[in-house]
Amino acid sequence: TTPAVAPLTALGFQGVAKTMADQVTLAAGYSASVVYALGDPLTSTTAAFRNDGTDTDFANRAGDHHDGMEWFGLSSDGQASTSANDRGLLAINHEATTDETLSSFFLHADGGTKTLPRPASEVDKETAVHGVAVVEVRKTGSSWSAITGSAFNRRITALTEVDIAGPARGHALLKTRYSTDGTRTRGTLNNCGTGKTPWGSFLSGEENWFGYFTRPAGDDAARGNDKTVTALRRYGRAAGAASRHGWESAGSDDIHARWINAKTGTSADGTDDYRHEMNGMGWIVELDPYQPASRMVKRTGLGRFAHESAVFSLPKAGEKLAVYMGDDSRNEYIYKFVSDTAWSAADAAPADRLATGAKYLDSGTLYVARFASDGTGQWVALNLAAIPSTYTAYAFSDEADIRINCRLAADAVGATKMDRPEWCATHPTTGEIYFTLTNNSNRRVSPTAGSSTQLQPDSANPRAYSDLKGTATQSGNVNGHILRVRETGDSGAATTFSWDIYLFGAQADADTGLVNLSNLTADQDFSSPDGLKFSPSTGICWIQTDDGAYTDVTNCMMLAGLPGRVGDGAKRTLAHSSALSVDTFVGASPTADTLRRFLVGPKDCEITGLAETPDGKTLFINIQHPGEGTKMADIADPTKYTSQWPSNAGYGAGQRPRSATIVITKNDGGRIGS
């Protein structure tokens, strides 16, 4: 069947009210069910999940904290298919775990250990629930289920061997005791946003990986305070930093010692210790979900930072491909990679997807965005020639060093510091790129004197006291915004662009002069946009929230938008104070037909991940960490869990809350959102 591709001009469902109910609340006329939750067996020999903390064998089960997700269709005979609508593979990130003081407490019968050293029995479960999964799903009649025991099912964990490719492969800064030639590492970690390549493979972004490593207090001195100390600090690991889970404490064997990113050996090149281990994380990783025996590959050309999604410009034959990416940390940057190789349509269905990945992703130019106050912007190339001679904080040894430490290179060229770039998404017909900027507590009208982290608002990050009610009692850009970029000539290879802000998150009753700049109504208001994806079928821009500021009023949610184009709104001048006014560019306000809340999730969850069948009639999304606010001390008392979803929706054993993938269909069989 040919997918029905007809962008909507108006949303067809009735908006959902904000709610704090511990359930998935959906627009009328739609149904949802759970298909794949934490602990579900992926092989036919794995025991059923008891969900009481006694389960083991997590490398053969669904991981935790389901995040970004992509659809890979399968024909009825199990071949890759771009048109299949009732059988396919979901490639899913398992970002993290629900934790409190070291332990991922829902995974352990008594909640686990809160002090060091931690037992290997707990740690080895926790490393196995992180990573990526591929799981086959099928539709039978009108209902969907995961196929336990499918030959395509697989898990990649925080310890699975992964190849390193691209300009940093074999670099001196990637040599470790595990990979003395710097070509491999173990695992992928804190995988957040995703992407799907034009050649049909899966991309996964490694986000807050640095928190899993520790560095002893004396490590700076052991390194002779060399440039690697500067790099480690810039990437979030000062000497003496404790790790998030204490995995390094579970034993002196290699799989535990690798979490101590320290110079402990005597070699000149680091091949007898793990002083370079963190350089193996922070990449966009490529996986061929159709080849269960293939290895995952870290594509170092795309730069190393706290990655979210990686999305492509609309592929045009004979033009280079652009990949857009955000670095999710306060005051970090937006990047794009442009391939050296021009796109060939013959590569849309290649025999070898990872070889095709090497062709487009292993050589190219990495750029960082600089936004100007007149609604234009520049992509600044990150290479040795671009580093000003006045920049002395870090001496780059070569071009690969720039990819490994591109945050430092972006500092050097004066890129624009953003309000936490989360996902990006490419509009399926205009090709404009949308970026969620989730929030930034460090954006201030009057930064504390001498602060290196607090920044005044600028045109692309123009709000600084967007308190939920429009008063100044909360600091920073509390609610976040969605910025969009139109490349000059609509070409991914362009080095200039125009931009505006599609939507500002805000509470509907907030001040419309400084806070609710998009004039959101009660059916549209949201805070902290994070997941973002367009439906190629309906053209809907799905907006998912990960919010801690509006959760006194509503659980996190998903909205549907039908945006216009860059420049459809107006220039606004925000008068922050007598000394500070900021020009910005606000997209046309949405109408009741073009922005509406579609779904609200259970308590203490984030809504994230979105995969759609080509016909637009089946939507998979992820409910991440329901019940995250539960206290570890309450592990024995399910009545105190802040969520009991999905067991309260009839899914699975036990009452411990579980991250899960749900499938959404329209009761009349139509396209989602129509």
Residue 471 carries which side chain, given as an amino acid letter?
Answer: T
Q: Which helix (H) or strand (E) holds 255?
A: helix 254-257
How many of the other CB atoms lie within 10 Å of CB of 35? 20
Please choose which of ligand FEO, Ca ion, none residue 411 contacts, taking the beta carbon within 5 to 8 angstroms, the exact cut-off set by kind: none
Please report, for residues 255, 457, 503, 618, the alpha-carbon distance to residue 178 in angstroms, rounded to integers and kept in the order given: 10, 45, 47, 43
x/- string (CB under 6 A) for ligand FEO, residues 525-544?
-----x--------------
Please report, for residues 51, 383, 621, 639, the alpha-carbon distance to residue 548 in angstroms, rounded to integers and kept in the order given: 27, 38, 20, 23
Given the complex with Ca ion, which of 66 and 215 has the nearer CB atom? Answer: 66
Is residue 308 within the footprint of ligand FEO (CB under 6 A)? yes
CB of 193 to Ca ion, least distance (A): 6
Q: Which helix (H) or strand (E) holds 571?
A: strand 570-577
Q: What is the Cα–Cα distance from 538 to 8, expressed in whole angstroms?
A: 5
Please choose which of ligand FEO, Ca ion, none residue 207 contacts, taking the beta carbon within 5 to 8 angstroms, the exact cut-off set by kind: ligand FEO
The tokens for 344 are: 């060939």
Given the complex with ligand FEO, which of 256 and 304 has the nearer CB atom? Answer: 304
Footprint of ligand FEO on 8-27 (CB under 6 A): none
Q: What is the Cα–Cα distance from 503 to 589, expressed in whole angstroms?
A: 8
Q: Which helix (H) or strand (E) holds 308?
A: strand 307-312
x/- string (CB under 6 A) for ligand FEO, residues 81-120?
--------------x-------------------------
Is residue 206 within the footprint of ligand FEO (CB under 6 A)? no
E-strand stretches of 328-420: 330-332, 334-342, 364-371, 376-381, 418-419
CB of 429 to Ca ion, least distance (A): 25
Binding test (CB under 6 A) with ligand FEO, winner from 22, 40, 126, 207: 207
Say how many residues touch ligand FEO, by CB under 6 A.
7
Is residue 546 within the footprint of Ca ion (CB under 5 A)? yes
Given the complex with ligand FEO, which of 87 and 420 has the nearer CB atom? Answer: 420
Is residue 347 within the footprint of ligand FEO (CB under 6 A)? no
Please choose which of Ca ion, ligand FEO, none residue 606 contacts, taking the beta carbon within 5 to 8 angstroms, the exact cut-off set by kind: Ca ion
CB of 480 to ligand FEO, least distance (A): 11
Given the complex with Ca ion, which of 64 and 288 has the nearer CB atom? Answer: 64
CB of 609 to ligand FEO, least distance (A): 11
Footprint of Ca ion on 402-461 (CB under 5 A): 422
Q: Which helix (H) or strand (E) holds 125?
A: helix 120-129
CB of 216 to ligand FEO, least distance (A): 28
E-strand stretches of 363-439: 364-371, 376-381, 418-419, 421-426, 433-437
Binding test (CB under 6 A) with ligand FEO, winner from 332, 422, 500, 612: 422
Please choose which of Ca ion, ligand FEO, none residue 288 contacts, taking the beta carbon within 5 to 8 angstroms, the exact cut-off set by kind: none
Q: What is the Cα–Cα distance from 475 to 464, expressed in whole angstroms?
A: 7
Q: What is the Cα–Cα distance from 297 to 360, expressed in whole angstroms?
A: 13
| Sequence-ordered alpha helix ranges (H) in 538-609 | none
Q: What is the Cα–Cα distance from 590 to 563, expressed in whole angstroms?
A: 8
x/- string (CB under 6 A) for ligand FEO, residues 229-258?
------------------------------
Footprint of ligand FEO on 311-340 (CB under 6 A): 328
Provide the CB-side half-sphere exposure for 575 (13 A, CA): 2
Residues that bind ligand FEO (CB under 6 A): 95, 192, 207, 308, 328, 422, 530
Residues that bind Ca ion (CB under 5 A): 192, 422, 530, 546, 606
